[in-house]
Amino acid sequence: MITVTAFKWVPPFASGQVRDHRVRWVLNEVGWPYEMRLIDAKTQKDPAYRAVQPFGQVPAMEEEGRPPLFETGAILLDVAERSGKLLPQDDAEKAQTRAWLIAALNSIEPFLANVAEVDFFMKDEDVKAKRRPDVEKMARQRLGELSAALGDRDYLVGDQFTVADMMVASVLKVVGHTDMLDEWPNLVAYRDRIFARPAYQKAVADQRADHARHSPADMKYGASA
């Protein structure tokens, strides 16, 4: 059985966003059963968990007979390759799919994450006001470049849904609390098309349900290591 780690609870703005939704999603897409292991802040520091996820983050994917995996890009590629799904058969398109998946994490997500960092985690309003225009400018540049690359196509590579679309759409969630995407109707349509997939809907609903069953106290933030 595959086991995926996730947090017991997160603040409301993060529920439905935490990256374990990507692993739930890909496993739902390929039809592989899995179970969730919900962890708290104390477990994050536990040496046993650090042996699975060196940085104490979520998600990690454990499976009997195989080494644990961490980093959602690696997990999505692993599941796609082993299942024979969500990757094109054509070698050139398969290579493009891998490139887009990595681009989502390296060339797009960091710029969108800067916006979310300012909006949700900066407390000093003066610093926030000064930084927000700069990070939004860079995020908009990346979104414009993505829009141009996508054009009027339904998917990023070829004519089928792949793990590249899964990762890029998931990354777009990072600025879902803003109206930034509205400038590019093709990106809005793309995001909505990808998020209409039942496997995605279930992944997010399940994650939110897990969070709803817990509270900040369950995270044991004050517990000693």
Strand order in the sheet with 60-63: 34-39, 2-7, 60-63, 66-70
pLDDT of residue 223: 63
Alpha helices in the chain (DSSP H): 20-30, 41-45, 47-50, 72-83, 91-103, 109-121, 125-150, 163-172, 185-195, 198-212
How far, in Å, CA of 96 to CA of 68, rounded? 26
- Residues with Cβ within 8 Å of 64's Cβ and at least 6 positions away in sequence, in order, are 1
The average pLDDT across 59-80 equals 98
* Domains of the chain by residue range: 2-85+200-219, 91-197
- Residue 35's beta-bridge partner residues? 3
Q: What is the pLDDT of residues 193-207, one digit of tens each?
A: 999 999 999 999 999
Query: At residue 30, does pLDDT exceed 70?
Result: yes
Q: What is the pLDDT of residues 119-133, one digit of tens each?
A: 999 999 999 999 999
CATH code matching the domain that covers 91-197, chosen among 3.40.1160.10, 1.20.1050.10, 2.60.40.10, 3.30.1310.10:
1.20.1050.10
Q: Which residue in this structure is represented by tokens 């509270």? A: 215
How far, in Å, CA of 133 to CA of 137, rounded? 6
Q: What is the pLDDT of residues 152-177, one digit of tens each?
A: 999 999 999 999 999 999 999 999 99
Is 2-85+200-219 a domain of CATH 3.40.30.10?
yes
Q: What is the pLDDT of residues 131-146, one digit of tens each?
A: 999 999 999 999 999 9
Q: For 89, which DSSP code? A: S
* Chain centre distance of CA 36: 16
Query: At residue 225, does pLDDT exceed 50?
Result: no
- Collapsing DSSP states into helix, strand and coil, what is residue 100? helix
pLDDT of residue 222: 74
